[in-house]
Structure 1
Amino acid sequence: MATPAAVAAAATTAPIFISTTTLRSILTHKTLVSHFQTTLPNASLSLSTPPRHSLSTSPNSTLLLMPSFSTSSSLPYIGVKLVTSHPQNSSLNLPGIHACYTLFSSITGQTLALFDATELTLFRTSSISALASSYLSRNDAHVLVIIGSGNLSPHLITAHLGVRPSIKRVIIWNRTPEKAAALADRLRGENGFDGVSFESNGCLEEVVGLGDIVSCATNSERELVRGLELKEGAHLDLVGSFKPTMKECDDEAIRRGRVFVDNEVALEEAGELVGAFERGVITRDDICGTLVELIKGDKLGRKNDKEITVFKSVGSGVVDVLTAQLVYETVKTDQIAQQ
């Protein structure tokens, strides 16, 4: 593959549009997990990522603006993602999250590429969860519980299976049982899941207690996972909340677990953590580390098979630009090779 600087230098004034079809033909969860593992530590040092702007566009809708930029020759990009969150879309049978992404050259300021970033967000979010799970879940995890059955859920399933091939049973729960059953039926018919059973279950309390890994991807503003129901040795993956009013688990889950975050912004935005701090359940000093610290080995992940671990992600412009980098450089390298 051509170097990032060479790719940037070869850019023309006309930006390219990278469609969802193209993105899917390039990305896999395994390759993205590997890309994050090798690039995140250095990228976190070279990228400037201002706090994202979260604007309420209506009582139930949010607009997020997520910029990130670097002048490093190994990552010569500026990226901006715009995200809309409309949870009420479920009643319209539409995704609740939509996004677009623009990638610029930090050398010339040119617009390099435009992405339909809805799929980009699904890939990067699920791959970050899976990467964290590779450090925090048990090596012999057998049962994966997915809470929520929206567009992110199948990505989470695929990503977690990629890092924990020991998983042989996937259980899906949703407030609307029919949606959970429909997703389980769909996954049973897809290739690539040999030896894995898919099922739905309408009893949340029972579902939580079965999971070696419990992954939540909802817009809930009330706790779903109760800490007392988590089994010994479970790993809790919290993906959904991105503002203080949202939460997917109760204080007991936070108190029982060794808590890690994708980045320090989670301490300001994640409702599960903000609420726990306010109520004195834990302090900021009780947070065990970030994903980058896990990758670098600065912080120890799972210590034994009995402890409960928690990973809370809120997303960042860093992982967006790294995902866009991988896709864009692959496309441009292919174009250069064909010339």
Structure 2
Amino acid sequence: MRIIGSAEADHLLTWTAVTEAIREAHRLPQAEIGDMLLSRDGRSLLNRGAWIEGLGIALKSVTVYPDNPRRDPPLPSVQGGMLLFDEDSGAPTALVDGILVTKWKTAGDSVLGARLLARPDSRRLLICGAGTVARTLIPAYGELFPDLEQIILWNRSTDKAEALAAECAGNVIPVTVATELAEAVAAADIVSTATLSKEPFLKGEWLSPGAHVDLIGAFRPDMREADDTLLQRAELFVDSRRTTFGHIGEIQIPLDAGTITAEDVLGDLHDLCAGTAGRSSPDAITAYKNGGGAHLDLMVGALIRRLVEAGDSRG
């Protein structure tokens, strides 16, 4: 069994390759998936399994410890690993660094959703959050949206946003910091949220016509980033109904309250990749809930293994 770490594989990946791998895999039969989530004192253990006919089998197990970056020395907030299995024999073929898979899967999922829903002439991106995911969104959106002219960061702790912006001082697309969230949202073509918020902070009334909202952060049943107005005002999409309905507060809380119905979710990545769902007009507001899932981990993990093995064959 091959063990693949970040140092061996990270440099082999591009956001274009990752999004194309996810898009192509959504043309295969739908995955069988299963999740187990354990939480205690704000810390979580996520176990996610997937089987995609023609691609393989995977099981990813990761911990989410939000306080880890404040340790001395700091540790990643997300840690773990993913096992890949051969579909024919059931034999384990690779153990891939979970941080590597999560990094490319999470941002790749969102930026693919944006490519399929956001206006292609989008110029201004607002990222809410200044942590690990926000850091990866900057190059991901930069590569897939070459017409971007400005990336704006907002975070409840302005110091963290300013520190991340300083890290990006040499970025081709200028990275700046906003202190007034409502003004930044109104001026943005794309709004991407990557926070650990439990209460909605992004208001639908702030959005301008034609905006796209990329909702990443809320991954537990008790978490939300967008308010009811946003979900009612937007044309709503998810990466997978099976990993969002009944699992993620961003969707399930308003479903339970009757704020939205299941029919208000107009499509998922299978529909978007097939071209059977999408933005209705240039002025429509679209929202995409990134719920993740082991099927996406498998898609990215299989790509990582292929790239590493291709490098081996080249010597």
Q: TM-score range by the shorter chain?
A: over 0.9
* Alpha-carbon RMSD: 1.5
Q: CA deviation at 1:337?
A: 4.6
Partner of 1:291: 269
Aligned positions of 1:294-333 closer than 5 A: 294-299=272-277, 301-333=278-310
The structure whose Rg is larger is: 1
Partner of 1:60: 42
Q: CA deviation at 1:65?
A: 0.4
- Listed one character per residue, the Cα deviations across residues 306-336 of structure 1 (whole Å, up to 9, x for unaligned) are 1110000110111111111111122223334
Q: CA deviation at 1:161?
A: 2.2
Partner of 1:69: 51
Question: C-alpha separation between the residues in 1 aligned to 2:9 and 2:248?
Answer: 29
Question: C-alpha separation between the residues in 2 aligned to 1:336 and 1:186?
Answer: 36
Identical pairs, percent: 30
**Aligned match of 1:48 in 32, 35, 53?**
32
Partner of 2:113: 132
Question: C-alpha separation between the residues in 2 aligned to 1:188 and 1:303?
Answer: 37
> Match of 1:99, SS?
strand
Partner of 2:175: 198
Alignment-mate amino acid for residue 332 of structure 1: E
Q: Structure 1's 280 and 94: CA in aligned 2 closer, same or farther, altered over 3 A?
A: same
Question: C-alpha separation between the residues in 2 aligned to 1:285 and 1:115?
Answer: 37
- Listed one character per residue, the Cα deviations across residues 78-101 of structure 1 (whole Å, up to 9, x for unaligned) are 211001111222433433222211
- Listed one character per residue, the Cα deviations across residues 177-202 of structure 1 (whole Å, up to 9, x for unaligned) are 1110111111122xxx42x1111122
Partner of 1:216: 193
Question: C-alpha separation between the residues in 2 aligned to 1:307 and 1:22?
Answer: 42
Question: C-alpha separation between the residues in 2 aligned to 1:149 and 1:130?
Answer: 17
Q: CA deviation at 1:220?
A: 0.6
Moved over 6 A (4+): none
Kept after mapping to 2: 8 A contact 1:64/1:84? yes
> Match of 1:112, SS?
strand
Is 1:22 the counterpart of 2:22? The answer is no
Q: Any stretches of 5+ residues in structure 1 without a counterpart?
A: 1-14
Partner of 2:23: 37
Q: CA deviation at 1:158?
A: 1.8
Question: C-alpha separation between the residues in 2 aligned to 1:60 and 1:251?
Answer: 24
Q: CA deviation at 1:287?
A: 0.8
> Match of 1:17, SS?
strand
**Aligned match of 1:91 in 57, 70, 75?**
70
> Match of 1:32, SS?
helix
Q: CA deviation at 1:107?
A: 2.1
Alignment-mate amino acid for residue 64 of structure 1: L
Question: C-alpha separation between the residues in 1 aligned to 2:57 and 2:118?
Answer: 34
**Aligned match of 2:139 in 158, 167, 192?**
158
Question: C-alpha separation between the residues in 2 aligned to 1:16 and 1:82?
Answer: 17
Question: C-alpha separation between the residues in 2 aligned to 1:246 and 1:132?
Answer: 21
Kept after mapping to 2: 8 A contact 1:133/1:163? no
TM-score by length of 2: 0.94
**Aligned match of 1:78 in 57, 72, 75?**
57
Alignment-mate amino acid for residue 227 of structure 1: G
> Match of 1:269, SS?
coil
Question: C-alpha separation between the residues in 1 aligned to 2:264 and 2:313?
Answer: 50
Q: Any stretches of 5+ residues in structure 2 without a counterpart?
A: none
